A and B are shown apart, each in its own frame.
Chain A
Amino acid sequence: MALIKKGAEANLYLEDFSKVLHAAGRGKVIVKHRISKRYRVSELDRRLRESRTALEAKLFADAKLAGVPAPVVYEVDRIGMRIVMEFIDGRLVKQVLNRLRPKARRKLCELIGRQVARLHLGGIIHGDLTTSNMILTREGKVYFVDFGLGEYNPSLEARGVDLHLLKRALQSIHFRITDEAYRAVLAGYKREFGRGAREVIKRVEEIEKRGRYIPKEERAWH
């Protein structure tokens, strides 16, 4: 199997459909294998890998239902901690975003914002909205390809954190165009989400202020 990406928690392999699933199949598939980590105790390791594998497969399917391009899941293997899924041919948004012309960049960011809103309206939180988890295809579709840290959560807080993470990702990789890109994301988000979007965006600002340096007396847990 050809290793195409060694991520923090999983390895991605590019494989022939016919080899992995059925001899009659054609084309390529992606096999996502969650690897065991020696640094954590086996009970925790197994729990995290198994639950994330099962949950991610479900999230892929529900993201599609919510109207967000995501790979088709062909097989879920909870023993081998593997998901076999559709291979999406395209380029990482991480690699193209900085190089686009301003207008095209704005359009792309708006589309991303719309898709995040669709997920949120569908009760889904992506959990790791970075531009290296988005693939732009030739037809101009943006696939969200990694739901490894996703969850079902309709709360304002979860939505706020999700958007906050996207902003943070823009700041850390696309720091030269962060403001402009994030504005476009929000514009798309507002349009798609409709009523209530403002509330989410306000929550993002709150979360940012929280950062970490909250006066003790203001901390919720105290």
Chain B
Amino acid sequence: MLCLGIEGTAHTFGVGIVASNGKILANVSKTYVPAKGGIHPRDAAQFHAANARAVLDQALEKAKIGLGDVDLIAFSVGPGLGPCLRTAATAARAIAAWLRVPIIGVNHCVSHVEIGRLTEKAKDPVTLYVSGGNTQVIAFDAGRYRVFGETLDIPVGNCLDVFAREVGIPHPGGPNVERLAREGKRYIHLPYVVKGMDLSFSGLMTEAVRRHRGGADLRDLCHSLQETAFAALVEVTERAVAHTEKREVMLTGGVAANSRLREMLGLMAKERGARFYVPPMELCGDQGAMIAWTGLLMHKHGIRDTLAQTQVRQRFRTDEVDVVWR
């Protein structure tokens, strides 16, 4: 059975084609990069609409199949930016209706965990999912992916990106902050906020920008910003590991590309005697393969959506999904 998965929660439009044995036949995406400033949902959605056909064709070509070979359509039903979600959903509905194949709406955050479990053979990890749009510590418990900790304000990727933009570091913000941080030597004290299991990064970002205006060395600031934000992430993940007594830790999402974060989380896992996994980078960021694979898992366990049930859910929470496949 072949599933075609469509991802479109934020600035990436992706199409993945996955077989029911877990083989990824194609995984093509295109990412909207604004000329300046942040992502405007409407512009991102227009970008998706304009590129949907090309991405779809490329994916089919890469997988060496025709559209008629597809048995199931999965798409990212939420959470995400409304206009982007609706664009991806429209594409998914159109293809499913045309082919007369089943359609399934997939939770974006859950699919990040599932693709990691597929490729890394992790059985039951505590997952730190960090991106420009999400920051969550997720662990499976009693039929659900429970959120053990999350940001109370902005996601960590957004904290890094906005800081970069405010201080004039060019796009892409995160990787450039990381590069500058390697040259930083002095640690500047910045607000470190962990509230129980939850995190907050907006104060950290504001203070880092303020310090820059006050004349602090940019390399030191990047170093300190990363160290502070990542230490908080690792601390909360560690608390979840201690709490759940799980023996595996996984890192995913766009910020998983940061080698310092990998190093820190890996050290924590080692100190606690847990295995540490990071999926290949092309599967950490947003893409269609994770949607397709999760759609296959859901379909295999009897989940069916009618077209009417495919309305997008901008605030679809990770812990709302009934995980019948585990």
Contacts and interface: CB of A to CB of B under 8 A. Distances in A.
A14 interface: no
Contact of B238 (A8, A210, A211, A220): A8
Contacts of B314: 213, 215
A2 interface: no
B153 A39 contact: no
Interface stretch (B66-74, B111-119, B143-151, B298-306): B143-151
Interface string A165-181: 10011011001000000
Nearest to B135: A212
B234 A165 contact: no
Given A6-B242, A43-B187, A211 B315 contact: yes
Contacts of A132: 243
B265 interface: yes
Contacts of A213: 79, 314-315, 317
B286 interface: no
A218 to B, nearest CB: 12
B228 interface: yes
Interface in B215-257: 227-228, 231, 234-235, 238-239, 241-243
Interface stretch (B27-35, B96-104, B188-196): B188-196
Interface in B195-215: 195-198, 202, 205-206
Given A40-B231, A43-B187, A165-B195, A207 B146 contact: no
Contacts of B152: 161, 207, 210, 212
B189 A47 contact: yes
A9 interface: yes
Q: How large is the interface on A (under 10, 10 to 19, 20 to 34, 35 or more residues)?
A: 35 or more
B288 interface: no
**Secondary structure of the B contact surface, majority rule:** mixed
Contacts of B41: 216
Given A165-B197, A175-B142, A212-B155, A40 B234 contact: yes
A149 B317 contact: no
B267 interface: yes
Contact of A44 (B148, B151, B205, B228): B228
Given A8-B239, A172-B141, A149 B227 contact: no
Contacts of B146: 171-172
A127 B196 contact: yes
Interface residues of B, number: 46
B323 interface: no
Contacts of B242: 6-8
Interface in A26-41: 37-41
Contact of A221 (B154, B268, B319): B154
A127 B196 CA distance: 5
A221 B205 CA distance: 10
Nearest to A129: B196
B131 to A, nearest CB: 11
A4 interface: no
A219 interface: yes
A48 interface: yes
Contacts of A129: 196
User: Top 4 closest A-B pairs, CB basis?
Assistant: A213-B315, A165-B196, A40-B231, A8-B239
21 contacts: A8-B239, A9-B239, A37-B231, A39-B271, A40-B227, A40-B264, A41-B231, A43-B189, A44-B187, A44-B228, A161-B196, A165-B196, A165-B197, A172-B146, A207-B152, A211-B315, A212-B135, A213-B79, A213-B315, A215-B314, A221-B153
Given A6-B242, A39-B271, 13 more contacts: A8-B239, A9-B238, A37-B271, A38-B271, A41-B231, A44-B189, A47-B189, A48-B192, A171-B319, A172-B146, A211-B317, A212-B152, A213-B315
